[in-house]
Chains A and B, each alone.
Chain A
Amino acid sequence: EVVLTQSPGTLSLSPGERATLSCRASQSVRSNYLAWYQQKFGQAPRLLIYGASGRATGIPDRFSGSASGTDFTLTISRLEPEDFAVYYCQQYDNWTFGQGTKVEIK
């Protein structure tokens, strides 16, 4: 069973800064079948990235995803006020999620 470990647990940044979120898989992920979701307080998660690097419909291009082996990265190039939220990665093998990274305002 693939286990996803996200780091850091919390990222404290200012608007305009670059955010780099990590998701490490315990074993190889089939065909980079990994997604990223954004969840704002009191809302359902929203699909941001699929297939490790594809942007979902309507997602701004400041969000990007990449993969290197079992390491996956979500990058937000310049944080907007609406980007402060919790981010989860998910792999498609057994559909489990990472534990989440909270991006908070510094």
Chain B
Amino acid sequence: QVQLQESGPGLVKPSETLSLTCTVSGGSINGYYWSWVRQPPGKGLEYIGNIYYTGGTNYNPALRSRVAISLDRSRNQFSLKLSSLTAADTAVYYCARREERGFDPWGQGTLVTVSS
């Protein structure tokens, strides 16, 4: 059974770059799309972007100028970088596998707070 686990710093300063990694276990990263979604405290879900196992990416237009998603097939991991952070980027960040049916499964999520 495929499981995903996010990792990265829980606190980042304004104007800096957030870096998160999602480790995929119980299955291969090959053959699938892999996604990032975030959720500000008390608010709804926001799609950030996804990456195909061959490296092609798709980003939310609202975040495109600040986002980069990459993957490391040898480590079965994919990563998110979000630059020029502000308090509005404070959120729980989820990684998920994107299938034709939807996003399944999801990681448990990691809270990132942007504060000095």
Contact = CB atoms under 8 A, between A and B. Distances in A.
Contacts of A90: 45, 47, 102-103
A72 interface: no
- In this complex, the member of A1, A45, A94 whose beta carbon has the largest number of chain B beta carbons within 10 angstroms is A45
Contacts, number: 60
Given A44-B94, A45-B106, A46-B106, A97 B44 contact: yes
A87 to B, nearest CB: 11
A15 interface: no
Contact of A44 (B47, B98, B106): B106
23 contacts: A35-B101, A35-B102, A37-B45, A43-B108, A44-B94, A44-B108, A45-B37, A45-B45, A45-B106, A47-B102, A50-B100, A50-B101, A54-B101, A88-B44, A90-B47, A90-B103, A94-B47, A95-B35, A95-B47, A95-B50, A95-B58, A96-B60, A98-B44
Contacts of B47: 90, 94-97
B40 interface: no
Contacts of A98: 44
A56 interface: yes
Contacts of A43: 108
A99 B94 contact: no
A97 B39 CA distance: 11
Interface of A: 1, 35, 37, 39, 43-47, 50-51, 54, 56, 88, 90, 92, 94-100
Nearest to B94: A44
A70 B35 CA distance: 25
Contacts of B108: 43-44
Contacts of A45: 37, 45, 94, 103, 106
